[in-house]
Structure 1
Amino acid sequence: MIRVVLADDETMIRAGIAAILSSDAGIEVVAQADDGRQAVDHVLSTRPDIAVLDIQMPVLDGLAAAEEIWRLRPQTGVVMLTTFGEDEYIERALAVGANGFLLKTGDPDELIAGIKAVADGAAFLSPKVAKRVIDQLPRKSVGARAKVTTLTPKETEVLALVGSGLSNADIAATLFIVEGTVKAHVTAILGRLGVRNRVQAAILAYEAGLVQSLD
């Protein structure tokens, strides 16, 4: 069961999102909040797998809440949910360590898929968001390539698959290794590259030329 804390300051939207998530038998909304401070408190008290945060909230906005969650409880994956598609929100969400970024205007199935992907250890960006992010990245950055050279050949192979959006289970199946070994490789990769999470690692993989462009 994937345990979720949901935060959105608009009651009807929050209820709608909760209904969508609860429609899946594998997801349980364990707490709801109407501001970012409450969201952080609920995460610390309920220790969920995922925190779904609206970006614009009172007291503490979603981006600030995401950063606190990453600092205080990095085991909880963070998915940002917003009606906005402006580049500044995408960039800031990735910078504070968000594992996923979804638009409220997206398909409900996309929301559920994103929650499951992040819970499974993968990064998840709405296709529209992913395209915008990739379009802004430098092609085959020298700095990114230099960082990747610090990895072992196997870690580089794993990083390329992380960049392609595969979960730990998918990577294990692709490379014919156990999932625990994949997790160990991912942990080592994040440390060597100096990035917070899989989203940032995936972006660096693209910048280094390990992943093909999105069409």
Structure 2
Amino acid sequence: MTANAKPIRVLIVEDDPMMQLGLEQSLSSATGITVVGQAEDGYTAVEEALKLKPDVVVMDIGLPRQDGIAATQQIKEAMPSVHIVMLTSHTTENEVIGALSSGADAYCVKGTSVDRLLTAIEAAQEGASYLDPQIARQVMEHLKPAVAVEPNIVGQLSQRELEVLKLMVEGRSNPEIATALYLSPNTVKTHVRGIMNKLAVDDRVQAAVVALRAGLV
């Protein structure tokens, strides 16, 4: 984040007290993050999101009273601008695809590093997508199955676009891509738009699916 950027306001939804405490401490000590609240179940998560209007919700799936997938759907329906980062030990195909289909912007598996979680939060806040490598191939197989990969689709991309695409698949945000490739943020945005147009997809997750199916990673 830039020095003048507003802190990302985060709501933590986690029913394990120790995990909740660890997340609160880790995120509160990170530069550019402000923890605005916590919830222990899905119903309270929706109530707190409506009340606090966070930028990002870090959401578990296995919650009492109402699970995180249902809570995510309700939050996104009420406040589409709120970004949801799933942080969970649940990695079955139904749960992964259910979470993403409900509107989640990022998916991390518990046990991931704090740096990776922060990357997911910042990517979601920026409007990008982040997929934990452990579940990326599940997304490839099951998300947007109608997305077809033409044999020559990779050949439509320039070398620079391929470099940007590979970093998109890794869940890198636009600023991170800009830093890695020594490009300006505006240039990266132009490349991302060009990639999505050439691949005939609507968002970065679909672009990642096409990249995976095309064997780029």
TM-score (norm 1): 0.73
1:99 and 1:198 in contact (8 A); partners too: no
Change (3 A) 1:67 1:201: farther
Alignment length (residue pairs) = 202
Q: Which residue of the partner structure matches residue 32 of structure 1?
A: 38
Q: CA deviation at 1:73?
A: 1.1
| 2:209 partner letter | I
| Bigger RCO of structures 1 and 2 (CA < 8 A, at least 6 apart) | 1
Q: Which residue of the partner structure matches residue 189 of structure 2?
A: 182
Task: Tell whether 2:137 aligns with 1:111.
Answer: no
1:121 and 1:168 in contact (8 A); partners too: no
Q: CA deviation at 1:75?
A: 1.0
2:120 and 2:171 in contact (8 A); partners too: no
The within-5 A match list for 1:1-215 is 1-134=7-140, 136=141, 143-145=147-149, 160=165, 162-163=168-169, 165-169=171-175, 179=186, 182=189, 198-204=204-210, 206-207=212-213, 209=214, 212-213=216-217
**Structure 2 Cα separation of the partners of residues 87 and 200 of structure 1:** 17
1:35 and 1:57 in contact (8 A); partners too: yes
Q: CA deviation at 1:28?
A: 0.8
CA RMSD of aligned residues (A): 3.7
Runs of 5+ consecutive residues of structure 2 not aligned to the other structure:
1-6
Q: CA deviation at 1:34?
A: 0.8
Change (3 A) 1:119 1:142: closer
TM-score (norm 2): 0.72
Partner-residue secondary structure (3-state), 1:144: coil
**Structure 2 Cα separation of the partners of residues 180 and 42 of structure 1:** 37
Runs of 5+ consecutive residues of structure 1 not aligned to the other structure:
none
2:87 and 2:110 in contact (8 A); partners too: yes
- Name the % identity: 33
Change (3 A) 1:29 1:200: farther
**Structure 1 Cα separation of the partners of residues 94 and 146 of structure 2:** 24
